[in-house]
Chains A and B, each alone.
Chain A
Amino acid sequence: MRLLIKNGYIIDPAQGINGGKNLLIEDGRVGGLFGYRESVPDDVEIFDATGLIVAPGFIDMHVHLREPGHEYKETIASGAAAAVAGGFTAICAMPNTDPINDSAAVTRFIIEQAAHADLAGVLPIGAITKHSLGTELAEMGEMKEAGIVAVSDDGRPVPSAGMMRRAMEYACGFDLPIIDHCEDKSLVRGGVMHEGHWSLLLGLRGAPAAAEEVDAQRDCALAELTGARIHLAHVSTRGAIEAVRRAKQQGLSVTCEVAPHHWALTDAAVAGLAGNGPGGTDGIAYDTNMKMSPPLRSQDHVEAILEGLRDGTIDAIASDHAPHHADEKALEFDEAPFGITGLETSVGLAFEQLVRPGFISLERLVELCSTNPARILSLHDRGTLRAGARADVTVLDPEFAWTYDLSQSKSKSRNTPFDGVRFTGAAIATIVQGRIVYLHPAYSRVTDKHQTVALS
């Protein structure tokens, strides 16, 4: 079957294309890009993308789908639904499930579940070590056969440099990038928020920026030693970004990603709105929706992130979508688990705080969300709209005004600080292998011949 996305503005950095073109999709693949006035076959569905941006499908490289094991927080199906609602055609599933994804069997299970859901593509990430315990290597070869696209010990950082070196060397053999969660636990020592003025004032144990920097620098040195491809997950500090910058200058294969909450909020957010009001109950002080790892940092680090996004040091935006049940987040700040959801707010936050204020261009946004993730993960038929590529397309409306209504979220979990926040700019349609799997309810840009959209 054929779908023609008509009158849209194509941004495809991989091909250097930035202009008005029609996009033809055939049997789940890109048929080609055509000029507006070129003739159109008769038997096509038409999606009218006038005034909209048409980009290669967005890929979120860092998502926690809690299946197998913690389905009460999120399932592969609900996560995939949230993903397409957020404009993502594919997401990478981190291995810290229960059982941990350190085997071909679990990898295959995840892929099967994703196929049933039939929404966003789910690309599993395998564990670096068995059970993520940090002592023995996991069967990366077997997992690669089964379909992983990278390895990571996210949530449980590889504790020793020696072990990390082995992991890098071994992963190299299968051309798998290593995604590292940089955190020196001995420096963090139970810290629940960024160590700084606010942690002191709030009386909470702090996790210093140095804990991330130390590991980031270690990884870069090891990347040099081993020649491996390393990708730093959710960088949040000036020091880590600096380390990546230097590594790139040296020609090392080091890439990194940033999560939207790290540029959208600072550690002051833990203290509540506008500082504490009379009686201390104004604003929400100690809101566990401000608790994540790495923690929200101070303004200086936020600025380093913005610089890194602009100058190319940061390669990708990845949400680190971390769903947790309301009961778990309703505990005291010290006890609550780390993390917030993010699939449905990523693009909105990127528009609101990066594109609209002019920090980055729309083209750079597409690079960060599609082109680069595909490149880092060696997904050759994704991240681009060249002929023959998978027909994964994200359609964006940079002017669309909307409010995030948490009650309508497709995720099973509700742990986000962004409920009720107003945004301008969103992904309004998500197309996976030529099928429109998500269309924003406010949109009716599709003609009568439009197929029924398969929504979960």
Chain B
Amino acid sequence: MTTFGLKHLLGIRELSPDQIVHLLDTAETFRDISKREIKKVPALRGRTVINLFFEASTRTRTSFEIAAKRLSADAINISVSTSSVAKGETLLDTARNLQAMAPDCIVIRHSSAGAPYHLARACDAAIVNAGDGAHEHPTQALLDALTIREHQGRIDGLKVAIIGDVLHSRVARSNIYLLAKLGATVTVAGPGTLVPAEFGGLIEQGVRLARRVEEAVVDADVVMILRVQRERQTDAFLPSMREYAVHYGLHLNHLDLAAPDAIVMHPGPMNRGIEISSEIADSGRSLILDQVTNGVAVRMAVLYLLAGGVSSGEQSADREVGNGTARNGTVKRQRRKRSLREDL
């Protein structure tokens, strides 16, 4: 295991605050690359990144694809409808087939919680969880954190309100873990059927539960809105989208209760006029588009630190001459022979 300690990125819950900060700092550097004319660096040249998406998602998949390509990696997209999974192949068999192609990294989105862990046990590649059921969506939380840091300057000490269908939301869970680890406090609000009491004990520091949006947004520095899905109505979690919009949607007047420079975020895609009013979505307070930009940067950082890093058996080496350690050229990577050594 490397000193960065990450072979896979399966969830935020397993990360230490240091690892999270390192990911965010690295992502910041990558954000600058996207502003250049040549938006590419050769860092992952020759590496293969496979996007294995069992759930439709153009947005996240494209984000990972761009991230891989900007690092000069070869990005391959596999979506369920076009692959043999639709023909009844199991996840494990799909994994083994991929494994035979020796990818460096597999990004997986799946509707079953735990699927990335399954994959990690079956493959040598570095696995990135792009969303597994209601469990976690780590890169979303990271890009949200980057956005918050960018606009509020910090995360420690912030008050964050998360509004919506928390029960089914992997974005909510990942965000709660990350925000708590970096010192923010979280309040959650939503319909009684979608905010179970147990949520209060999800993390050690506790999560505040509020019944009404008005309660949750008081003094909030960040308001995160979760997407509501229409199935919740047919599954008897909600009576109607109209009722949700009126009683649980975020309206302009709610922002008067929040902190003066509060920002509003939404993982997208948003249902205008239901969980978030159009006025807010189009206002300067809403950072939805910034989130998208930061998404590519964060995913570049994740791919770089996972697929670009060293495998086990390494001694950590600093590029600096001054500290007296020499570069160690003996790398125990089975598949790749790194014959050339960069030196001082």
Contacts and interface: CB of A to CB of B under 8 A. Distances in A.
A278 B1 CA distance: 9
Interface in B107-130: 110-115, 117-118, 120-121
B5 A203 contact: no
A185 B309 CA distance: 48
Interface in B226-259: none
B6 A279 contact: yes
Given A203-B134, A203-B136, A286-B117, A276 B14 contact: yes
A204 interface: yes
A162 interface: no
Contact of B14 (A195, A204, A279): A279
Contacts, number: 89
A204 B7 contact: no
B7 A276 contact: no
Nearest to A334: B112
Most B CB atoms within 10 A — which of A286, A331, A334? A286
A280 B92 contact: no
B120 A280 contact: yes
A285 B8 contact: no
B196 interface: yes
A92 to B, nearest CB: 33
B8 A200 contact: no
B229 to A, nearest CB: 15
Given A280-B8, A280-B14, A331-B91, A285 B117 contact: yes
A334 B8 CA distance: 22
B6 A202 contact: no
A10 to B, nearest CB: 49
Contacts of B114: 202-204, 285-286, 332-334
Contacts of A284: 121
Contacts of B117: 280-281, 285-286
B5 A278 contact: yes
Given A277-B14, A278-B5, A281-B10, A203 B118 contact: no
B342 to A, nearest CB: 27
B308 interface: no
Interface stretch (B197-205, B261-269, B287-295): B197-205
B7 A200 contact: no
Chain A interface SS verdict (over half)? loop
B209 to A, nearest CB: 12
Interface size class of B (residues with CB under 8 A): 35 or more
A274 to B, nearest CB: 12
A202 B113 contact: yes
A330 B92 contact: yes
A259 B238 CA distance: 38
Contacts of B115: 332
B118 A332 contact: yes
B64 to A, nearest CB: 19
A286 B113 contact: yes
B11 interface: yes
B133 interface: yes
B112 A332 contact: yes
B8 A204 contact: no
Nearest to B198: A200
Interface string A152-182: 0000000000000000000000000000000
A330 B14 contact: no
A16 B92 CA distance: 55
B61 interface: no
Interface string B1-28: 1000111111101100000000000000
B90 A330 contact: yes
Given A197-B198, A201-B202, A280-B10, A333 B121 contact: no
Nearest to A327: B90
B173 interface: yes
Contacts of A195: 198
Interface string A260-290: 0000000000000000111111001110000
A333 B7 contact: no
Contacts of A333: 112-114
B132 interface: yes
Nearest to A201: B202
13 contacts: A195-B198, A202-B113, A203-B114, A203-B134, A203-B135, A276-B13, A277-B14, A278-B6, A279-B9, A286-B114, A332-B110, A334-B112, A334-B133
Given A202-B114, A203-B114, A280-B11, 5 more contacts: A201-B13, A276-B14, A279-B14, A281-B7, A285-B117
Query: What are the 7 tightest A-B residue pairs by CB atom distance, in nearest-first order?
Result: A203-B135, A286-B114, A203-B134, A280-B10, A332-B112, A203-B113, A334-B112
